[in-house]
Amino acid sequence: MDHMSRYHQWLEDPSIDEKTKAELRLIAADEKEIKERFYKELEFGTGGLRGIIGAGSNRLNTYTVGKATQGLANYIKKEGTEKKGVAIAYDSRRMSPEFAEIAGLVLAANGIPAFVYPSLRPTPMLSFAVRYLGCTAGIVITASHNPPEYNGYKVYWADGAQVVSPRDKGIIDEVNGVTEYGQIQRMERDKAEANGLYHMIGEEVDNLYDEQVLAQRICPEITEVMGNDLSVVYTPIHGSGNLPVRRVLEKAGYNKVFVVAKQENPDPDFTTVGYPNPEDPNVFTLAKKLSEEKNGDIIVGTDPDCDRVGAMVKNEQGEYVVLTGNMVGALLTDYILCQKARKGALPDNGVVIKTIVSTELIQPICDHFGVEKMEVLTGFKFIGEKIKKFEETGAHTFIFGFEESYGYLAGTYARDKDAVVSTLLLCEMAAYYKRNGMTLFQAMQKLYEKYGYYLDGVKAITLKGLDGVERIQKIMTTLRETAPKAFAGKAVVWARDYKTQIFRNLKTEEVEKSTLPPSDVLYYTLEDGTWLCVRPSGTEPKLKFYIGVKGENLAASREKLSAVEKDIEEKIASI
């Protein structure tokens, strides 16, 4: 069906309300806008839905949310686990409370109890609630760090992690099987509550979550001497982290926590930042100003659904500088392993897990402490999947996991990245180093001196709309069909294609098979050890290039990184 046919189908569908149809009639003369909204169905991918809010089949609205939930309900009923219910959380974005309620009422109409948080909560709290309440699945309404016009819908399973293969494909098939909006069942809320099918999650779950987060401290005693000394500036960036982050830091004994007032309250337009991504240093403009006033030791900021955290600290000149996701991952890995080893609490079968696009600095750190390092595909659900397997087999003990895009997890109470526990551990680590006369910036320099000057970068190319989708596909197809021979003058040794799962050594013609699931990812290793990876973003209209280099010093590493980035620009421009 083409976009115009789908557009007219919505206008004629008796199950579509008049308000939605009125919005669609306003674009009747704008075929480009009609095409953007209707050229396809908003795809329910392996993680769920994410899209621009609005009327249309390629938009996030009550109908696409209802369709996704009906498909999920159909899958759950086939599994025979409907009595366990589904937990639902949402963040501060536009329509988040409405989408959460619709999801709950669709589930209720299908005889599946819905357990819904009464107000916005972080994504990791949804993961915890699924496990604590013994639910069969979970839903969180969020578009994470996307721009304000977006929202999303993520599905979790009983272990508290996002669904993985083959379950994800089974749910996708059920969602795609809902071909008409009239197939969506929905119950009125008062009836759902009366029938015991719609419940509010109580405060006791928040308190139990806090206990689990606080249990992840390595050196809780640090606040006895540093609780009144460490100065922390925090911004929730208008999102769901405000209350839980502040609550946990207070319970941990940090008494000098200053919150950016203009970014404290929920704001679906993210007025002070526009793009609420802690990977973007611009979101810390107000936090830096406050930190200068309060002589802050560390600035932390969490994204709208509070699963990612960014940080800034002072350098040797007293200027606030960004700690990248890879830097924080390396610092936390080293700190956790070091302190556990010091206390004799390092498990013999301990493991640290990172994604394939995260820093290689983790390898020498793990080697130093005799801990195994594992790699998974990009996406924290693959780390959650590993944790589940460890619990089932007892083969390993999970210590810490992270991905370069500012997501970290210590402990197994949740199965997704958690910015609440990450903020707590960042503050503990900052307090530890301050007590020892160092900043986190200086601690990072010490890691470089000890293990090598690893430097990592991400180059993202934004390509919006249908044209952008086609452009991304063309670039990936070209790179896949003709592997580059070199980057920045250094020959490619290994060209790894995670979609075909074929890894080729371009020098020896040796071929290996991937041990990871198929994914639209290309990964190149160069003759000097430099690596780079390209993949379409799963959450934004972007093509992302990840780069890792190692030099004799930081200046040499920066030069290498810059040369590779420039070569990438030239190669992409020629496609």
Residues 189, 198: Cα–Cα separation, whole Å: 7
Asked if 527 and 541 count as a contact pair (C-beta separation under 8 A), the reply is: no
**What DSSP designation does 462 have?**
E
- 219-241: b or e for each residue (b if 16 or more CB lie within 10 Å)? beebbeebbeebbbbbbbbbbbb
User: Which of the residues 127, 144, 422, 557 is marked catalytic?
Assistant: 144
**Residue 562 designated active-site:** no
Asked if 337 and 346 count as a contact pair (C-beta separation under 8 A), the reply is: yes
Helix (H) or strand (E) run with residue 400 in it: strand 397-403
Helix (H) or strand (E) run with residue 385 in it: helix 380-393
Residues 97, 118: Cα–Cα separation, whole Å: 9
Residues 453, 223: Cα–Cα separation, whole Å: 32
Residues 404, 159: Cα–Cα separation, whole Å: 24
Residues 363, 369: Cα–Cα separation, whole Å: 10
Residue 558 region by backbone torsions, left for phi larger than 0, else alpha for psi between -120 and 50, else beta: alpha
**What DSSP designation does 266 have?**
-
Helix (H) or strand (E) run with residue 511 in it: strand 511-513
184's tokens:
């969506």
Asked if 420 and 245 count as a contact pair (C-beta separation under 8 A), the reply is: yes
Question: Three-state DSSP class for 491?
Answer: strand
46's tokens:
């392996």
Please count the CA atoms within 13 angstroms of the CA of 116 that sit on its side-chain side.
28
The residue type at 50: R
Question: Three-state DSSP class for 547?
Answer: strand
Question: How many Cβ atoms are within 10 Å of 499's Cβ, its own excluded?
Answer: 14
Residues 415, 140: Cα–Cα separation, whole Å: 14
111's tokens:
């005889």
Give catalytic residues, as residue numbers. 144
